[in-house]
Amino acid sequence: MSRVKTLQVLFKRYRRPGDIVFAWTMLIISLFLLWQLTEQTAWKPRAKLFAQPRFWPGVSLAFMVVFAAFHLIGSMLSERIEGRWREVGLWASSLEYAGWFIGYAAVVPIVGYLPSTMIFAVALALRAGYRSRVALGSAVVGAVVIVLLFKTFLQVKLPSGRIYEALPDGLRQIMLTYF
Amino acid sequence: MENLIAGAEMLARWDVIIALLVGSIGGVIIGAIPGVGPAVAIAILLPATFSLDPIVGLTVLLGIYGSSMYGGAIPAVLINTPGTAVNALTSYDGYPMTQRGEAHRAVSLAYSASFWGGIFGIGCLIALSPVLAMIAPMFGSREIFLAALLGIVLVILAHRGQIFAAGALAMFGIFLQTVGLDAVTYTQRYTFGYSFLSSGINLIVVVLGLFALSQAFFLLTAPDSSPDAKPVTGKMTAGIRELLRHKRVATVAAGFGVILGMIPGTGEFTAQFMSYTYAQKTSKTPELFGKGSPEGLIASEAANNAVPAAAMIPLLALGIPGEALTAMMLSVFYVHNVIPGPQLFQNNIDLVYGLYFALIALNVIVMVFLLFSTNLLTRIIRVPTRFLGVMILILSFVGVYSLRNSLTDCMIAAGFGVLGLVLKRLNLPIVPIILGMVLGGIMEVKLRSALPRLKTPFDMIDRPIAFVLFALILLVLALHIRTLVKELRAHRLDEDHDIHDTQTR
């Protein structure tokens, strides 16, 4: 019995709520990927083992399964911490911001970098709970500074907005090149 | 000598000087704002630096890396919140000093110790250069493979208390870099029939997701807060004189920083803890540690600032990054077709010296800047955290989208952003994924190119350096098991700690 106890101590570790959910997810994903090994990688008949395209995915996934399994054991043997599902809820709430990010990326080629960045900065500041003029004004200023820095000065490769095409001649060229 | 002059000449260009100023001052500001660290900034700026000259791009990134810890000491001392997580120990002694009304003493001591550590680290780098230039060519494919393997082992074992998670994440990183079309056999690996996966998963996209986007999500999903630091009054040069009374602690701490900075996977944290413990053990007033001891503050700051220069050693000499920030810098080298490693010292030694000089210059610039502008920085750090989240999200877009204007990349980055958020919330490390990707790629390439010369597996270690590296791997594993057994016998468990946070910011 005491031996079992010591083994438990070995696996117990400091953790936070939600750890076991992550541990299960990691194990399931790594098992799924390992199961797909023969399907998703090729085996070259005359090549050496170490040069096989299957070698590194196989080795890394096998070890990942082992590590993930031990991580899960550790999590199961440790005391349960309250607030597991509240924590998972918080992880899920970050998906909203991931959506904002993808939405922003989808809008830029249509509306143009400068207008979409300004709109997005203000909208997200409102979403984050800011209502004061100072905060919203700072969001606009921040957006303009970012555009000026990256697009105007550093000429980072970003697409021009399709709506810029509708602008009058002189202005269109400037907007297409710098904003 | 000519190389030294050529290196110095590299810095005497207006674009390099601007890069130095932007990198070093920008780094201090980024470091000083709690909630955004050098990893976020470097990840965002990385694609923008691809279009610049290698020396210009690297100078900006090095500037941010080398100076962020200076800035990070300010909130650590003034409001007990480390600006970058590697300043954690600085707050142990810095904050009690502030409470006693000695904020200016603590801040100036932190700057002076940082400067001492920074310059010591660069000194070691320069002194070691001839040795590196001599040893580096002895590293063939086998040696580099073994060194990368040692790096993976160390990065896993360095995460004490979370080794299984770190191991699984490092393996996940190695797996990620195999996805796509295999360059040698032209076969698909884990593409699931999707064409966008054929070109593989881009390291920069992963880095931006895991470091930058995750930080934005982290800040946006947490309650808003605004750090409030009081202005500092008093003579800022006081710390320099006081530091000179603790030269021994500062030098030994910087020494720890250099040694641990060179070893992949260990870095600032371990260096800080070891030097802090050393300082306490050898101090005449050990009871003051944690209550405002100048020696504790010096030990912590000198150690973490010696790391950036030392971390450049394995990167420049072998092309092996030891932690996330140098892993990101490695991609700048690759983009410009400058391959760090043995050839760098033969073909581009001027670039190497240029980087050394840039490191020295940035330490001087930062020191001068901080002596005059600490109070300005205390105002800047009041940015509310959610607002910061909004800005990071907007900036991350520039990083991801400018790579190849791909919406798919943005989706992948967003996915990794969510993964990064989960890891941060669980206090699990992110760095193993990045190092797994970079070192995994190196291991695969090097093992393949070593194969034709191997008749038996023992040929892998039949050269002196390869043998030493292999012995080191075994030694590290054996030592780890020994410590585990010892701890188990003593029934002593790791306490709750936030150590790994550092590497996630």
Instruction: Look at residue B189 and give its three-state secondary structure.
Output: strand
Chain B interface test: which of A16, A101, A153 (most B C-beta within 10 Å):
A101
B residues 393-432 lying closer than 8 A (beta carbon) to A: 393-398, 400-402, 405, 407, 410-411, 413-415, 417-418, 421-422, 425-428
What distance in Å separates residue A168's CA from the closest CA in chain B? 26
* Domain range annotation of chain B: 2-225+242-504
Secondary element (H or E) of residue B188: strand B188-189
Cβ atoms B86, B34 nearer than 8 A: no
Contacts of A68 in chain B (CB under 8 A): 164, 168
- What lies within 8 Å, CB to CB, of B6 at 6+ separation is B349, B350, B353, B354
Contact at CB, A53 and B185, closer than 8 angstroms = yes
Please tell me the distance from the alpha carbon of residue B94 to that of residue B114, in angstroms, as a whole number: 14
**Alpha-carbon distance B47 to B207, whole Å?**
11
- Per-residue pLDDT, B501: 44
The helix-helix angle for B54-79 and B349-380 (nearest 10°) equals 30
- In the DSSP assignment, the letter for residue B161 is T
What pLDDT shows up at residue B345?
A: 79
Distance CA B286, CA B291 (A): 10
Listed in sequence order, the residues at least 6 apart from B269 whose beta carbon sits closer than 8 Å to its beta carbon are B86, B499, B502, B503
- Chain B residues whose CB is inside 8 A of the A61 CB are 171, 175
Q: Which of A35, A97, A133 to mutate to test the interface with B (most CBs of B within 10 A)?
A: A97
User: How far does A178 lie from chain B, in Å, by closest CA?
Assistant: 14
For position A80, what pLDDT does the model report?
79
For the segment B115-144, what is each residue's pLDDT rounded down to a tens digit? 999 999 999 988 888 888 888 888 888 998
Q: Which residues of chain B are modeled with pLDDT < 70?
A: 1, 265-268, 491-505
Domain positions in chain A: 2-82, 94-178
Query: Residue A149 pLDDT more than 80?
Result: yes
Task: Say what the pLDDT of residue A101 is.
Answer: 96
Residues in B closer than 8 angstroms to A91, CB to CB, are 418, 421-422, 425
**pLDDT tens digits for A37-76?**
999 998 988 888 888 899 999 999 999 999 999 999 988 8
Interface contact flag, B495 A14, Cβ < 8 Å = yes
Contact B398 A158 (CB under 8 A): yes
What is the separation, in whole angstroms, between the first and last Cα of chain A? 71
**Residue A12 predicted with pLDDT over 60:** no
Distance from CA of B432 to the nearest CA of A (A): 12
Nearest by CB: A101 against B187, B410, B484: B410
Contact B390 A154 (CB under 8 A): no
Summarize pLDDT for B466-477 with one digit per residue, the tens.
Answer: 999 999 999 999
B 206-235 near A (Cβ less than 8 A): 213, 216-218, 220-221, 224
pLDDT of B364 = 93
Of B288, B275, B254, the closest CA to residue B122 belongs to B254
Higher pLDDT, B449 or A8: B449
Task: Place A139 in a pLDDT band, splitting at 50, 70 and 90.
Answer: very high
Q: Which pLDDT does position A57 carry in this prediction?
A: 95
- CA angle (B226 as vertex; B221, B230 as ends), nearest 5: 160
